[in-house]
Amino acid sequence: MKIIEIVSHVLQYDLDEELGYSQQYYSKRTAHLVEVRTDVGITGWGECFGGGNIAFANKTIVEKVISPMIVGMDPLDREVIWHKVYNLVRDHGQKGMPIQSMSGIDIALWDIAGKVYDKPLYQLLGGAFRDQIQVYGYGMMLQRVPDLAERFERESRSIVEQGFKAMKMKIGLGVDKDIKLVESVRSSIGNDVKLMVDANHAYTTREAIPLGRELEQLGVSWFEEPVAPEDYQGYRELCEALDINIAGGEAEFTIWGFRDFIKNRCVDVLQPEVCGLGGITQYQKVLAMAQAYFIPIINHVWGSAIAVATNLHLVASLPDFPGAAHPTQPMLEYDTTPNHFREDLLATPLNILPQVKAQDGFVALPQGPGLGIEPDMKFIERFSV
C-alpha cells in the first residue's frame, strides 16, 4: 500500500455575527481538512489547526512541501514518515505552521491504519478506558457590542439548558471588565456548574496574578492561557502564586516544545492540541511525558467534526487520573458557537448536542474503523475555497 495523493480542503463561510477572543475578531468560519489517498482505495482524513488565512498558508505547506516528501511511502509507516518530514523542515519550522500542516496528515495516516485493521482509533491507541465521555460547553466568545455581559448571561444559561455540566468562557478585555463578565456568568449559572475561563494569553504575569485571585473567589476551575505561551517563567510564577488551576499548552508543538513546559510544571492542566502539535504520533509522546510528571491532560479542541471525532478517541484512551476507584475523568471540549463544519460536515453526524441533552452531559464513542466518520464530499465542494 502506498500514498498516491494528499489533498487540502480549505472550507470557509461568512458568519452571521463577528466573534473573537483576546487577540482578534473574525467574521469568517474556516476549516482546513486533509485527505490522504492510497493506491488500494483507502482514504484517511485529518485536520490542521489554524484558522483564517493561516489555513491557506498551511494548505500550501501540505501540498507543495510535505506531499512531495511522502507520496509513494507506506501510510502505515507513521513514525518513519513523521521523522522524515520533521528532519527535512526543522531548519525552517520547528513550531507553528509546518507542524500544524504535518498534524493533519498524521491524523489521516492513523485514520487509514484503523481502516486497514478494521479497528476504531481508540483501539489502536490501546483501548478505551470509558465508553462515555463528559463534554464541557465552550462558548461566550468576545464581541464588540455594548451588551456583552447580558449576552454572556443568556448564552451561559443556554449552555446549561443544553445539558452541559461545565462550560468555558472567553476573557481578555482587561482585568476589571473580565471580573464583571465572570461575575455575570457565575450569577447566571449558579455555583453547581463548573466554570473555566480562557484569556488567550492576554496578560502579563503581574496582571494575571490579581485577576486569578478574583477568579478563585468566583469558583473558577481553571485559568487558561493567562500569559504568552513562550513565558514559561510566568506560567510557573502563576502556579506558585495562585490556588486556581493554571491551564495551557494549545500553542506548543512537538515533544521538544512540551519538554520544558512539562518538566518545569508550568501548568496544572495540560491542553495539547492534536491538530497543531504534530498529530497523534506526537500527542502520544506528549501524553507519556505528562503522565511521568503527574500532570492531567484535558485536550484543546477547536475545529470541524474531524477534530471532534479525533479527540473523542483520544479522550477515550486517556487513563484515569489519578488511578482510583473514583477518579476525575477527562472531558471533551466542545465549541457551542454556530459552526456548519462541526455540525453538518459528516455524512453521518456525531450528534454531540443531542447526546449531551439526552445523556446528562455525556456522549458515546464512534464505533467505525479509524476515526469512525466519513465527510460528505458534496458539503466539502460547496464550502471549498
Q: Which cell goes with 382?
A: 460547496
Q: Are 168 and 197 in contact (CB under 8 A)?
A: yes
In 3D space, the residue among 193, 140, 138, 134 whose CA is nearest the CA of residue 165 turns out to be 193
300 is a catalytic site residue: yes
Cβ neighbours around 322 below 10 Å, total: 9
What is the CA angle 217-271-152, rounded to 5?
Answer: 50
Q: How far apart are CA 188 and CA 139, in angstroms?
A: 14
Q: How far apart are CA 362 and CA 354, in angstroms?
A: 10
Q: Which cell goes with 51?
A: 484558522
Residue 120: is the preceding peptide bond cis (ω within 30°)? no
Q: Which cell goes with 61?
A: 505547506
Which one of 201, 300, 313, 326 is the catalytic residue?
Answer: 300
Q: Are 45 and 108 in contact (CB under 8 A)?
A: yes
In sequence order, what DSSP letters do the residues of 260-282 get, joined into one string? HHHHTT--SEE---HHHHTHHHH
Exposure string (b/e) for 172-189, b if CB count within 10 Å is 16 or more? beeeeebbebbebbbebb
Active site residues: 300
